[in-house]
Structure 1
């Protein structure tokens, strides 16, 4: 079944690409379709760039990108955990809608369902070359790997690089060896931290090669860097260069990677026809202490539905199209990347329901529009833990992770945290209280009622494990049995 679908996609994509090269199609002619470079950084916190307040190191290339483009300060990951966040980015859906939750482990029996239409699949129909260089984490079985989901080229790690036998906190997990994958084939094993130190430069080299080989046609280049997810590792070129230790070294190297790609775009003469987006999959893993980033004053971090888990940096640059030096506070999410980029490339949207919104007008500078006014904070398998509308956020009573009150770890080893703190019902005004410290339910009962109504719509649509309710419009993840 999978093989026939793969052949059908490949043939159809090739035929369509040929047609577009000959005659052009859709709302954007082939010659005018923008290239797209999408950086997706792992566990990067809201405060981890020097333009967002980082100290002890600088990120000059990213600061320059912000100055030459726009910075979106209310950009949310769809879920504050790895696989779920990545599924959302590539499908435009709440990850619980498509059956993806948590962080899929090695040899997982599930992955991204082949029936889900991804952003690279949609762009391939419009003649785009598509490449991914970095971390996948949407299923490591061959049926779930990137080449089966719309990418022409893949070189990277199939899941988080802490899912290996050498991790100090998970040595008893009996993880299998971690291999880099080239296309569909495992190649070099990542055995040591010295091997891990070559991930950022290695993926950068592959990305630059991709740009050079596809400069004369539109391309979609996805660079999901595995770092600064632990275990941290920096190449000899950057090791010991920051005042913040290894974490700062890693951030300096990631900044270098962005600078190398931006420089290559200019050298190839395609800089002005390339949209570059820089975002993170979730907030920082705070109990790793000096090996973790900063949520920039927001509450909590990765694995929570507070703002420190969801709100991440978002920089967008496209000379002559995206306003330079702008800061926008409009609410956006990873789900919104797919419909926006697809439409910019003249592509259709997926045939099944998605949750992302098209923000092209805002992207191009129209601050009078509000593409998104609400967001559902789901976590664990399918628990609705909070809902937001505008500046108001209602937290529902739920058990959840907290890092507060625990001493963070040092030197790459995690400190403790709890997964089951009982959080009470609370209402926060994020305009005045972005740290989510002051419950104002009693002062605004009408806001609580409005957000409760919005939550009921989510529960009817997507369900809610906290209330033992099943949604009407959930789909399932792909399974090994399904794709055999």
Structure 2
């Protein structure tokens, strides 16, 4: 295993300054090569719904993201398919509910499963259309070589194979016993992420690689996927950003991530690619609330990461494409990470996956047709395959289930987590999210017809995908990838 000098990529790049997707195998009309848009997709780890200054963050500013929102559209009702790392990333790249393709939870370094090679990713679909494909950041869809990005449609990969808290300095390392964490270049481990100072170099190193990728592929269409490992704990920032916010280290980290977005946007402009590039920014799930001052904000939504209340699933989403996506617009239409694949594939002239997916095409809405409602329902699955809630329109029916809660527990400080429980017994409840986005007022007694309608929707979900709580097998699930013996 190679161990050269840690991080040869210097963070001197920081001195540059703050600059500036359908079910079935349907096909899309071919897009001429000269008109194919570039695609940049930012995916932030554990970013709360309220963690941007344009969504109410306090103690720091995110000017580049605020500018992106002003120059594009902010989608305020955008959901991660599941509120946990691996499952959420699987949905983004395949357009499927994670449990449809056998994926659940967050894979650790000893996991022998990963994204099945039979599943088609957005990178594979775009690669067929002549796109250069690169990922710089956190993968977390299987750390064995058979599951790494180069085996799933990406030409280049640099980053961490799973969450960077799965390392020897984890607060509960005495029980977790994680092995050393290495950066991956292509398919090979390189530098060890050994200390927090090393984690503090991740944002700059990923940004530098992303900018270089744009320069290298400026003359041909490209798909650039930037899944930043932060602000997942442990938090770390480079020296240039430490101590810069009034929100402590969390604010410093968000300021540096905002800087990263600005560097990429600046390079697109410098290369004359700005007007032909679709840029999407979103989170993978809500904040890890029991980390207290090292966790983000849900902006008043209930619970957070690892829960199927809105604080766990609802995430920020910004989309910018000058002249195509309307500027200064806010849309509250229901959308999910699963909808990215069919939409981006259509915009780029790529075909849809051969196997059934769950994502819907929101191209018309994206381009400004606010009469469109691409999606009106969502299944809130969690754990291995538990259906914990269903939603149609603004109505959400939560089923009685055991789950994580942060409420009523003291918050952690300085990188140490406070307590929480994984087995709180949540009762059945009906919420009207239009009037009660914080999910505080159970109105099932007032609306028995709505409850009955949503129960039927849940029966459809269980027949299709299963429900472990009810010991039901779904008719249309597919196997996870298994490591070859």
Q: Would you say same fold, with TM above 0.5?
A: yes
Q: Does 1:374 align with 2:397?
A: no
SS at match of 1:461: helix
Query: Which structure 1 residue ranges, 4+ long, deviate > 4 Å from structure 2?
Result: none
SS at match of 2:141: coil
Counterpart mapping for 1:106-185 below 5 A: 106-185=109-188
**Residues 397-445 of structure 1, C-alpha deviations (whole Å, 9 max, x = no match):** 0001000000010000000000011111100000000000000001100
Offset, 1:171? 3.9
**Residues 112-152 of structure 1, C-alpha deviations (whole Å, 9 max, x = no match):** 00000000000000000000000000000000000000000
> d(CA) in 1 for partners of 2:384 and 2:32?
42
Q: 1:66–1:316: 8 Å Cα contact kept in structure 2?
A: yes
1:449 aligned partner: 452
> d(CA) in 2 for partners of 1:51 and 1:242?
16
Counterpart mapping for 1:335-484 below 5 A: 335-481=338-484
Q: Does 1:199 align with 2:202?
A: yes
Structure 2: which 5+ residue stretches go unaligned?
1-27
SS at match of 2:331: strand
Structure 1: which 5+ residue stretches go unaligned?
1-24
Offset, 1:169? 2.6
Equivalent position to 2:260, from 234, 242, 257 = 257
Offset, 1:466? 1.1
Counterpart mapping for 1:165-244 below 5 A: 165-244=168-247
Q: 1:83–1:102: 8 Å Cα contact kept in structure 2?
A: yes
**Residues 217-242 of structure 1, C-alpha deviations (whole Å, 9 max, x = no match):** 00000000000000000000100000
2:93 aligned partner: 90
Q: 1:169–1:414: 8 Å Cα contact kept in structure 2?
A: no
> d(CA) in 2 for partners of 1:431 and 1:170?
43
2:54 aligned partner: 51
Q: 1:169–1:413: 8 Å Cα contact kept in structure 2?
A: no
Offset, 1:26? 4.6
Counterpart mapping for 1:319-330 below 5 A: 319-330=322-333
> d(CA) in 1 for partners of 2:169 and 2:454?
45
2:83 aligned partner: 80
2:69 aligned partner: 66
> d(CA) in 1 for partners of 2:290 and 2:51?
16
> d(CA) in 2 for partners of 1:240 and 1:334?
33
Offset, 1:189? 0.4
> d(CA) in 2 for partners of 1:120 and 1:454?
32
Offset, 1:170? 2.9
**Residues 368-407 of structure 1, C-alpha deviations (whole Å, 9 max, x = no match):** 0100000000000000000000000000000010000000
Offset, 1:27? 2.2
> d(CA) in 1 for partners of 2:466 and 2:34?
44
> d(CA) in 2 for partners of 1:173 and 1:66?
40
> d(CA) in 2 for partners of 1:348 and 1:232?
39
SS at match of 1:256: helix
Offset, 1:107? 2.5
TM-score, normalising length from structure 2? 0.94
> d(CA) in 2 for partners of 1:236 and 1:30?
42
